[in-house]
Amino acid sequence: MADIIITCDSTADLPLELREKYNIGVIPLGVTLGDTTYQDGVNITPDEIYAHHSKTGELPKTTAANVGDFIDFFTPYVEAGKTVIHFPISSEMSSTYNNALLASADWDNVHIIDSRNLSTGIGLLVVAAAEMAQNGMAANEIVAKAEELVKCSDASFVIDNLEYLHKGGRCSAVAMLGANLLKLKPCIDVTNGKMDVSKKYRGKYGEVLKQYVSERLSDLDAIDNSRIFVTHAGCSDEIVNAVADQVKGYNFFKEVIVCRAGCTISSHCGADTLGILYIRKSPKA
């Protein structure tokens, strides 16, 4: 582990305790409110984003880390003799992956893996790679295994209020469904590196989430039981605790990690978004 460092960008939404436990390096993406650009997870919070939108009606804008940012980020690790394995947000969603790839071009010991995912769908890959490093696997073996796990990371979330996704146009399926979708609670799946609507729910959000969890965990034999994330963007404690208790009630996962999405993800999904994310034993269909 001493010679290998696992890194990601801030969209992986990993809580501080996990970042510290596995010595994970994080490069922040930019979030712009009005005329000011902040760094995700450094000097801006999701609640400040929501407050700005509530006051002005203005959606936040997010920006990728550029090539220079990545060179500055990777250089100290390389100069310290580290081999870097980096997991950016899906190349289908941001130029962050391509910028990281360009920045790494002159280094043989910096590996960029397209996560094809977002939020703790990336975080699952990062933690898995960090555990491999702790267990003494060589960098090339970690890269090969991680690239296989990319196909198995299962990320989905249910949105109570679609204003952010609808206005931002980040999910084409949401845009096509139009204003009527604002009356629904869609389940957004990350498929082939993109967000798509897999199902549309109706009803109170808490009841919808019970159904969602039950459906997502209906085939436990197909799921790796190492860990599951319950990741939310500012849901009430009552909602979050109910979902966490439901997941724990299966007595299946070794770790149930509850965490809050950071500023980049919150900028696109808005508040009252929650998902359960895990690794499947085989690639998603």
The pLDDT confidence band at residue 179, using thresholds 50, 70 and 90, is: very low
pTM confidence score: 0.93
Residue with tokens 């993109």: 194
- Domain definitions of the chain by residue range: 4-29+64-150, 153-280
Per-residue pLDDT tens for 184-193? Answer: 888 999 999 9
Q: What is the mean pLDDT of residues 30-45?
A: 88
The pLDDT confidence band at residue 176, using thresholds 50, 70 and 90, is: very low
Closest alpha carbon to 257 in 24, 13, 87 = 13
Q: What local confidence, expressed as pLDDT, does residue 181 receive?
A: 53
CA distance 84 to 116: 19
CA distance 111 to 102: 11
CB 149 within 8 A of CB 137: no
**44 token code pair:** 């801006």
Q: What local confidence, expressed as pLDDT, does residue 33 receive?
A: 84
CA distance 213 to 219: 11
Domain 153-280: CATH class, spelled out: alpha beta
Residue with tokens 């941001």: 94
Q: Of 162 and 174, which is predicted with more confidence?
A: 162
CB 111 within 8 A of CB 86: yes
Residue with tokens 């139009």: 178
Looking at the predicted structure, is the pLDDT value of residue 177 above 70? no
The pLDDT confidence band at residue 272, using thresholds 50, 70 and 90, is: confident
Q: What local confidence, expressed as pLDDT, does residue 102 receive?
A: 98
3-state secondary structure of 41: coil
Strand partners, 140: none
Looking at the predicted structure, is the pLDDT value of residue 88 above 90? yes
Closest alpha carbon to 276 in 258, 263, 262, 264 = 258
Q: Which whole-number Å values give the CA distances from 36 to 31, 44, 164, 255, in the listed order?
A: 8, 11, 19, 38
CB 29 within 8 A of CB 62: yes
Q: What is the mean pLDDT of residues 238-263?
A: 97
Residue with tokens 């555990």: 131
Looking at the predicted structure, is the pLDDT value of residue 169 above 60? no
Percent of the chain residues past pLDDT 70, beyond the cut = 91
Task: Output the CATH code of domain 4-29+64-150.
Answer: 3.40.50.10440
In which region does residue 193 sit, left (phi positive, over 0), alpha (psi from -120 to 50) or beta (all else)?
left
CB 96 within 8 A of CB 9: yes
The pLDDT confidence band at residue 106, using thresholds 50, 70 and 90, is: very high
CA distance 106 to 81: 15
Q: Of 266 and 249, which is predicted with more confidence?
A: 249
Q: What local confidence, expressed as pLDDT, does residue 122 receive?
A: 98
Which residues does 161 contact at the CB level (< 8 Å), separation at least 6? 182, 270, 271, 272
Q: What is the mean pLDDT of the chain?
A: 91
Q: What local confidence, expressed as pLDDT, does residue 168 receive?
A: 57
